[in-house]
């Protein structure tokens, strides 16, 4: 393609709207433009990247035995009401109605629609297993769309759904999809890691997320450097500490201390000159209209609300309002403690069980209690794993300590079990003539997000450095001086590379070299071929590797073969 005739509006300056790297660079490279918050147009260059990712996804899904179809974006409320998600999905579901006032929504995911299809068409175990997928625009009215393509309200997703006759077959299918995902992200040239994950709104039995590792990622994961264990911190189980609390005869008597204005753990530690791990914070959650639940977490730990929600079987969990806290404890927020705190249900994280002579709030303004011990001073209703895993925690899989990393969730696989098939009556007759609900799985890949994640992971101060498999073009030719000889050499090379099916962008604009260099670096084509009078005089052309910056000078007649070999190699290794 000729740059002079292409719609690739690059920008010289950073747009004010973008702060995150991928967002900024994709705007500057002329790949996307914003239409509204979280809604973007894919310009020709951006679309080429999307199509490349889609092609890899298609190949691997097909190879894994999945069949492509296309479900409607618009779906009727009735299906969503059957599973209860019309209400449960909340404000993220974009709802609309037709001229007859019938309710519809724009599909944020397609379990309902595909399960409806399956219950109509599948009636025998002989038709299973069945895995269907589509690549389609999805709509989720995100609370806060941000970071360009990273979290849009409209985005491109590959979603797949499996239907199996039994648990073993479903697990096999899940594993096949898991393996396909590993191949997909390897092939795109991204550094990624599958991690154990929470099931969230989709629900189901178990799931893994595929995280592209990047410091700007929104997700925090923990991993064991010495085993395969890795998990989203939301999900990561914390191994209960082995150290038992001191024997009752060895603990000190309970004591009240004055702690003026010590409303946070930091304040308290500074005031009493103790470490945060000697402090226990008491969090009050509103767990029902008139029900408060207290959760004890060690001062240096973070509460994990997902674990608490799961334990309590709740959909929503919010911290109690300051007014409520005051009403219950007769003290402002910051002085809550478990001693004498009633009549609320009291949950405690396992870490508390290993503590003795610890410090808690006194349920009185400017007062804390020290030398507190359980069960001497208060009774815990339920013990559990209620905190967020963190770096330094013991791995559940080895004796190693967990480490943390940031990641961008680009894929998510779920074992759904019969959650949807039972609610919607998607059943089949087994070999014994018994009616059984299909065992389901669902598998998503954020295609547009993968493009953004690739930029987060592959860029430098000059611009994007695309991995070859998803680069919009494989080679860019830069005639950097304007003589006829240079122009002719560029044209000839452009023609030759085209003959070899190399995807080549020729910068035939009447611009100075510097402009072309900078745009090429911004766009991030993996190889740049630089043609100028200087090099032609030596009978060489210069080839620059965008990512490494390495340059080679070779004679013009060898360039096409060299490029062809190099492109093929990079496609194979996913670099």
Partner RNA sequence: CGGGGCGUAGCGCAGACCGGUAGCGCACCGCGUUCGGGGCGCGGGGGUCGGAGGUUCAAAUCCUCUCGCCCCGACCA
Per CB under 7 A, residues contacting RNA are 10-20, 23, 34, 36-38, 92, 109, 140, 142-147, 150-152, 155, 157, 200-202, 209, 218-219, 305-306, 409-412, 444-446, 448-449, 462, 480-482, 512-515, 517-519, 521-522, 530-536, 542, 544
Taking the complex as a whole, how short is the minimal distance between the CB of residue 203 and RNA, in angstroms? 9
State which residue, 372 or 445, has the beta carbon closest to RNA: 445
Taking the complex as a whole, how short is the minimal distance between the CB of residue 111 and RNA, in angstroms? 10
Confirm if 544 and 551 have CB atoms less than 8 A apart: yes
State which residue, 209 or 456, has the beta carbon closest to RNA: 209
Nearest alpha-carbon partner for 214 in 234, 191, 196, 233? 191
Residues 6 or more apart whose Cβ sits within 8 Å of residue 136: 70, 71, 73, 107, 156, 157, 159
Distance CA 532, CA 184 (A): 39
DSSP secondary structure of 117-133: HHHHH--BGGG-SEEEE
Taking the complex as a whole, how short is the minimal distance between the CB of residue 538 and RNA, in angstroms? 8
State which residue, 150 or 347, has the beta carbon closest to RNA: 150
Taking the complex as a whole, how short is the minimal distance between the CB of residue 522 and RNA, in angstroms? 6
Which letter does DSSP use for residue 148 in this model? G
Taking the complex as a whole, how short is the minimal distance between the CB of residue 542 and RNA, in angstroms? 5
State which residue, 431 or 537, has the beta carbon closest to RNA: 537
Distance CA 441, CA 130 (A): 10
DSSP secondary structure of 442-502: EEEEEHHHHHHHHHHHSEETTEE---GGG-S-SEEEEE-S--HHHHHHHHHHHHHHHHTT-
Taking the complex as a whole, how short is the minimal distance between the CB of residue 336 and RNA, in angstroms? 19
Taking the complex as a whole, how short is the minimal distance between the CB of residue 411 and RNA, in angstroms? 5
State which residue, 422 or 533, has the beta carbon closest to RNA: 533
Nearest alpha-carbon partner for 131 in 119, 146, 114, 144? 114
State which residue, 251 or 515, has the beta carbon closest to RNA: 515
Distance CA 76, CA 397 (A): 46
State which residue, 10 or 170, has the beta carbon closest to RNA: 10
State which residue, 14 or 255, has the beta carbon closest to RNA: 14
- Report the residue count for the chain: 575
Distance CA 149, CA 466 (A): 16
Confirm if 294 and 284 have CB atoms less than 8 A apart: yes
State which residue, 285 or 378, has the beta carbon closest to RNA: 285
Taking the complex as a whole, how short is the minimal distance between the CB of residue 368 and RNA, in angstroms? 26
Taking the complex as a whole, how short is the minimal distance between the CB of residue 355 and RNA, in angstroms? 26
Which letter does DSSP use for residue 343 in this model? S
Q: Which residue has the tokens 């860019």?
A: 476
Taking the complex as a whole, how short is the minimal distance between the CB of residue 49 and RNA, in angstroms? 14
Residues 6 or more apart whose Cβ sits within 8 Å of residue 282: 294, 295, 296, 336, 337, 338, 341, 360, 361
Burial profile 193-216: b = 16 or more Cβ within 10 angstroms, e = fewer: bbbbbbbeebbbbbbbbbbbbbeb
State which residue, 253 or 514, has the beta carbon closest to RNA: 514
Burial of 120 (0-12, 13-18, 19+ CB in 10 A): exposed
């Amino acid at each position: 393609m000729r740059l002079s005739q292409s719609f690739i509006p690059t920008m010289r300056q950073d747009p004010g709207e973008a702060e995150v790297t991928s967002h900024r660079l994709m705007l500057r490279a002329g790949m996307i433009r914003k239409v509204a918050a979280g809604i973007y147009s894919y310009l020709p260059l951006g679309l080429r990247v999307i199509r490349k990712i889609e092609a890899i996804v298609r190949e691997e899904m097909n190879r894994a035995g999945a069949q492509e179809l296309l479900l409607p974006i618009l779906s009727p409320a009735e299906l969503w009401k059957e599973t209860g998600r019309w209400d449960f999905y909340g404000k993220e579901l974009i709802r609309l109605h037709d001229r007859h006032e019938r309710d519809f929504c724009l599909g944020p995911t397609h379990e309902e629609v595909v399960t409806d299809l399956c219950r109509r068409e599948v009636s025998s175990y002989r038709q299973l297993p069945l895995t269907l997928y589509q690549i389609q625009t999805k709509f989720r009215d995100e609370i806060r769309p941000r970071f360009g393509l990273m979290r849009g309200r409209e985005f491109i997703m590959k979603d797949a759904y499996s239907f199996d006759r039994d648990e073993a077959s479903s697990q096999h299918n899940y594993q096949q999809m898991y393996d396909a995902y590993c191949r997909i992200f390897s092939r795109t040239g991204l550094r990624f890691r599958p991690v154990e994950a929470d099931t969230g709104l989709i629900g189901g039995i178990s799931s893994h997320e595929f995280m592209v590792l990047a410091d700007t990622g929104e997700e925090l994961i923990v991993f064991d450097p010495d085993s395969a264990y890795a998990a989203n911190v939301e999900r990561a189980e914390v191994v209960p500490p082995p150290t038992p609390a001191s024997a009752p005869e060895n603990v000190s008597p309970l004591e009240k201390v004055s702690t003026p204005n010590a409303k946070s753990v930091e304040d308290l530690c500074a005031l009493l000159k103790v470490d945060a791990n000697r402090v226990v914070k008491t969090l009050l959650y509103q767990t029902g209209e008139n029900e408060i639940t207290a959760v004890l977490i060690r001062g240096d730990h973070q509460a994990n609300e997902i674990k608490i929600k799961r334990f309590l079987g709740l959909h929503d969990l919010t911290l109690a309002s300051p007014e409520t806290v005051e009403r219950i404890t007769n003290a402002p927020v910051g002085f809550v403690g478990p001693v004498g705190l009633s009549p609320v249900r009291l949950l405690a994280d396992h870490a508390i069980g290993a503590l003795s002579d610890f410090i808690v709030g006194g349920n009185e303004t400017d007062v804390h209690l020290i030398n507190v011990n359980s069960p001497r001073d208060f009774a815990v209703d339920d013990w559990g794993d209620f905190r967020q895993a963190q770096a330094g925690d013991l791995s559940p899989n080895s004796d190693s300590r967990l480490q943390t990393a940031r990641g961008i969730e680009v894929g998510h696989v779920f074992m759904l079990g019969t959650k949807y098939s039972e609610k919607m009556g998607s059943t089949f007759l087994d070999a014994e003539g018994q009616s059984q609900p299909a065992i389901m799985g669902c598998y998503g890949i954020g295609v547009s997000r993968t493009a953004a994640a690739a930029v987060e992971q592959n860029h430098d101060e000059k611009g994007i450095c695309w991995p070859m498999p998803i680069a919009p073009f494989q080679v860019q030719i830069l005639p950097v001086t304007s003589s006829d000889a240079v122009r002719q050499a560029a044209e000839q090379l452009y023609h030759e590379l085209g003959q070899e099916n190399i995807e080549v962008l020729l910068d035939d604009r009447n611009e100075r070299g510097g402009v072309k260099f900078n745009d090429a670096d911004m766009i991030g084509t993996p190889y740049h071929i630089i043609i100028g009078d200087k090099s032609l005089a030596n009978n060489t052309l210069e080839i620059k590797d965008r990512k490494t910056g390495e340059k080679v000078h070779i004679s013009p007649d060898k360039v096409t073969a060299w490029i062809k070999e190099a492109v093929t190699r990079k496609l194979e290794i996913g670099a």
